Structure 1
């Protein structure tokens, strides 16, 4: 699975209608709704969109015939195996009717061209882990975590004897990282692994 590195825009004219696609990374459903609102033009004839976050997705034809705009935009995203992405394709009608097939090609094609122009980055599956370390081991634990790519420390709470660290670890490396921390602290660190 991939997501976009940054927002990408592409414009094209198809049979006198102007289409502008804006695609960008999103973090969740509320971010998707904000993206659609921010990149829709109320002066345009249609602002059609689609977004996907994991197994959750939505699309909208915004007044175009059913299935001719939002779904082709979503299909363009799915063909590139994109996740955490929203796309808005805005159309200004140019006076020439495109028909259902023409609309599907125009919306899906504009979205696909925009997505192909964007820089894709791999999505790394992560798991939340809780790490309890004594003050004497804390610097070592944090140094080991910092030396591993794709580790994100969410929070660090201090206790009387040390700290509780909540971290996001790459799912494929959870067991390996846990073993590394256990070995480095001679078993003194307590790691609560996620279920599953």
Structure 2
């Protein structure tokens, strides 16, 4: 899966109607709401959008005929294998009706232009993990985590140290046997459920 690195703008004119697309990286529904609120433009005829975050999707036709704006924008996002992306397309009506097919092509085309201009970044899935160690084992574990460039948090407890980190599957495949070897099988990684 991929996302985009920064906000990108694209413009398109179709039969005197002007379309303006913003492709935006987002990580939460609140980020979507904040962006849409800050980019509210009362001079537009329609502000249509679609977003995908993980497996969640939403789209809005904002008064255009059903399925002619939000759905084509979402199709662009999904067709490019993107997630954590919002695309907002503004339309200023130019006096000439485009018809359903024309609207689908215009909204999808403007959204597609924005995505084509955007720098794509690969999203690497991580899992939240915890491990417990004795105080005497901490230095070796910290060294191994640093070698793999894993950021972590260490919480000191009465009976040792609880380490929390985000790891890729490849990093888990390295750290888990290391931890089991270091602790002689006493400890292993605990993968946390991401709620």
Q: TM-score, normalised by structure 2?
A: 0.88
| Structure 1 residues 152 and 77: CA distance shift in structure 2, 3 A | farther
In the alignment, what sits opposite 1:193? 190
In the alignment, what sits opposite 2:144? 144
Q: TM-score, normalised by structure 1?
A: 0.88
| Structure 1 residues 40 and 189: CA distance shift in structure 2, 3 A | farther
| Structure 1 residues 134 and 112: CA distance shift in structure 2, 3 A | same
Report the alpha carbon displacement of residue 143 of structure 1 after superposing the two structures with TM. 2.5
- The worse-fitting range, judged by mean Cα deviation, of 42-51 and 131-140 is 131-140
Assess if the C-alpha contact under 8 Å between 1:3 and 1:121 holds in 2. Answer: yes
Report the alpha carbon displacement of residue 129 of structure 1 after superposing the two structures with TM. 0.8
In the alignment, what sits opposite 2:119? 119
- The worse-fitting range, judged by mean Cα deviation, of 27-36 and 56-65 is 27-36
In the alignment, what sits opposite 1:180? 178
SS state at 2:191 partner:
coil
Which of 151, 168, 183 is the equivalent residue of 2:166? 168
In the alignment, what sits opposite 1:68? 68
| Structure 1 residues 97 and 25: CA distance shift in structure 2, 3 A | same
- The worse-fitting range, judged by mean Cα deviation, of 70-79 and 28-37 is 28-37
Assess if the C-alpha contact under 8 Å between 1:49 and 1:89 holds in 2. Answer: yes
Q: Write the distance in 2 (CA, Å) between the matches of 1:60 and 1:174.
A: 40
State the Cα deviation string for residues 153-183 of structure 1 (Å, max 9, x = none): 3x43211343211111113442332113333
Assess if the C-alpha contact under 8 Å between 1:48 and 1:69 holds in 2. Answer: yes
Q: Write the distance in 1 (CA, Å) between the matches of 2:76 and 2:56.
A: 16
SS state at 2:81 partner:
coil
Q: Write the distance in 1 (CA, Å) between the matches of 2:109 and 2:118.
A: 14
State the Cα deviation string for residues 44-72 of structure 1 (Å, max 9, x = none): 11110001112210000001111000000
Assess if the C-alpha contact under 8 Å between 2:25 and 2:84 holds in 1. Answer: yes
Structure 1 gaps of 5+ residues are none
State the Cα deviation string for residues 2-51 of structure 1 (Å, max 9, x = none): 11112111122222222111112111222222222223323211110001
Assess if the C-alpha contact under 8 Å between 1:9 and 1:22 holds in 2. Answer: yes
